Amino acid sequence: MTSRVSFASLTPHNLGTLRKLNSVLFPISYSDRFYTDILKPEVDDFCKLVYYNDVPVGTICCRIEDKDNEHRLYLMTMGVLAPYRSRGIGSQAIEQIIDAARSHTQTKINKIYLHVQISNVEAKKFYEKHGFKEVGVHENYYKKIVPRDAWIMELVNEQ
Measure the CA–CA gap between 15 and 64, rounded to whole angstroms.
20
Query: Residue 18 burial (CB < 10 Å; 0-12/13-18/19+)?
Result: buried
Measure the CA–CA gap between 111 and 74, rounded to whole angstroms.
9
Q: Do 109 and 72 meet the contact criterion of CB atoms below 8 Å apart?
A: yes
Closest distance of CB 105 from ligand ACO, Å: 25
Closest distance of CB 99 from ligand ACO, Å: 15
Of residues 1 and 106, the one with the C-beta less far from ligand ACO: 1
Measure the CA–CA gap between 62 and 16, rounded to whole angstroms.
18
Q: Is 59 in the site for ligand ACO (CB under 6 A)?
A: no
Rounded to an integer, what is the distance from CA 78 to the centroid of its chain? 4
Q: Is 87 in the site for ligand ACO (CB under 6 A)?
A: yes
Q: Is 21 in the site for ligand ACO (CB under 6 A)?
A: no
Contacts for 20 with CB less than 8 Å, ≥ 6 apart: none
Closest distance of CB 42 from ligand ACO, Å: 20
Q: Is 56 in the site for ligand ACO (CB under 6 A)?
A: no
Of residues 108 and 125, the one with the C-beta less far from ligand ACO: 125
Of residues 41 and 83, the one with the C-beta less far from ligand ACO: 83
Phi, psi angle pair for 130, to nearest 5°: -100, 20
Q: Considering only residues 97-156, where is the footprint of ligand ACO by CB under 6 A?
A: 114, 116, 120, 122-123, 125-126
Residues identified as active-site: 74, 115
Site for ligand ACO, rule CB under 6 A:
25, 75, 77-80, 85-91, 114, 116, 120, 122-123, 125-126
